[in-house]
Amino acid sequence: MPVLKAALGHTIVKADEFAAGVKEVKAVCKVLNDHLKDKHFLVGDNLTIADVTVSCALIVAFQTVLDAGFRKGFSAVSEWFERCMGLPSFVRRLGYIKMTEKPMKQFDPSAKPAPVTTTAAPAKKAAKKEEVDMDDLFGDDDDDGAAAKAAAAKAKAGKKKEKKPVIAQSLVMYEIKPLDSETDLDVLAKKVLGIKKDGVYWKTEYKKVPVAFGIFKLIMGVTVEDEKVSVDGLQEEIEAFEDMVQSVDIMAFNKI
């Protein structure tokens, strides 16, 4: 896409050409957005080569010109892109894709960097000479009290704010397929939500998505603390409900 090369400075184009290129990219996304409404993937309910090809082709677009404001108005294609990029197989090969908050403009070779201004440190005030009261040469000194105050002030200034440790977490979306069409998905969801352990925080809302022949599957989300909980282990615990569960797949996996 020439417009993306222009945003990154690989080519130089005029402003109107750049705007036309961005418009073309957004038009493609609009077609995708209309197609992806009420769909999780481009073809069917599972990832296919179509999703891999198209989502990878749009990576640089989401990193440069498809900003947060655009994504808010085209939620279907944006959620699909994040769903693809969050899959473990994508993360292993591409890393974590960070989308732009503000749209990039075309590269301007004549632009000059903004000057860096530095603020000079305030000059130390000259120490005032102590005025000696000749009438109080033999008065009581308050050196002990002044020393105590100085020590307290120094101790207070020396204390550093303790930083709270950062807890590594992951947001996981599980796709849970029931054993058959007779399986009560609400009962199954309650059983899954009943899996309680330290570091597991289930999302109370879940989705029922049609599969085929009157069968629906559950989409359930959970936040886990990486050091305490194994995502694969949690998946196995859900699969242990053999009387109700056919299979469990990780639909999306994102680090928080």
pLDDT of residue 133: 47
- pLDDT, tens only, 136-195: 444 454 555 666 677 777 767 665 555 667 788 989 999 999 988 889 999 999 999 999
The pTM for the full model equals: 0.42
Domain boundaries, the chain: 2-94, 169-255
181 vs 77, more confident:
77
Residue-averaged pLDDT of the chain: 80
Phi-psi region of 148 (alpha: psi -120 to 50; beta: other; left: phi over 0): alpha
pLDDT of residue 136: 47
Which fold is adopted by the domain 2-94?
Glutathione S-transferase Yfyf (Class Pi); Chain A, domain 2 (1.20.1050)
Mean pLDDT of 44-58: 91
Which fold is adopted by the domain 169-255?
Alpha-Beta Plaits (3.30.70)
pLDDT at residue 60 is higher than 60: yes
pLDDT of residue 112: 62
Q: Are 192 and 181 in contact (CB under 8 A)?
A: no
